[in-house]
Amino acid sequence: MLSEALKSRFDQVIARYPLKRSAIVPLLLFAQDEIGYISDEAIEEIARRVEVRPIEVIEDISYYSMLHRQPIGKYNLQVCTNVSCQLLGGEQILDHCSKRLGIGHKQTTSDGLFSLEEVECLGACCGAPAMQVNYDFYENLTPERVDRLIEELKANGKAR
């Protein structure tokens, strides 16, 4: 079930556009922020609200790389390996995360805490190598910084 807060945000967002379907991508992202992924229920609900067929929503989900239809970890580590980061060890950071968490690209740890993803340029080039954990940027990474971050996240994740 989508929360009432989310539904009322849907209404606000849809009202911004002369064409309701304009709201699809924002609604999908906001729904994902709340549910953790885009459920079939969310697809139906969004399609109904913006007056399109569900397949049109599904077309969008599979186009935009941040949207996913399956649950992922509480913390999604998105490591940039594009050229600026690559030159300064982005791939090593990705490898390090992978070894440390025991998961590969687009995989999730069995405790559901972490997911790992190799991503394209995040716009953090002057802080390379960089990654995003969910929406938070972490820059000038070293394997040691990554280790500390993972420990902190683990502690936070278990605390909740």
Task: Order the strands of the 75-80 sheet from edge to edge.
Answer: 107-108, 114-119, 75-80, 131-133, 136-138
39 binds other proteins (CB under 8 A): no
Determine contact, residues 128/85, Cβ cutoff 8 Å.
yes
Instruction: Determine whether 28 is exposed, middle or buried from the number of CB atoms within 10 Å of its CB (0-12, 13-18, 19+).
Output: buried
| Contact pick of 74, 76, 84, 146 for other proteins (by CB under 8 A) | 84
**Which is closer to other proteins, CB of 102 or CB of 140?**
140
Secondary structure class of 30 (helix, strand, coil): helix
How many residues bind to other proteins according to rule CB under 8 A? Answer: 48
Among 67, 71, 98, 143, binds other proteins (CB under 8 A): 67
Q: Considering only residues 34, 41, 44, 59, which one is a binding residue for other proteins as defined by CB under 8 A?
A: 59
How far is 53 from 65, CA to CA, in rounded Å?
21
Q: Does residue 105 bind other proteins (CB under 8 A)?
A: no
Among 2, 6, 9, 26, binds other proteins (CB under 8 A): 26
Of 8 and 62, the one with the shorter C-beta distance to other proteins is 62
Q: What are phi and psi of 52, to 5 degrees?
A: -130, 170
Per rule CB under 8 A, is residue 115 in the interface with other proteins? no
Closest distance to other proteins from the beta carbon of 149 (Å): 14
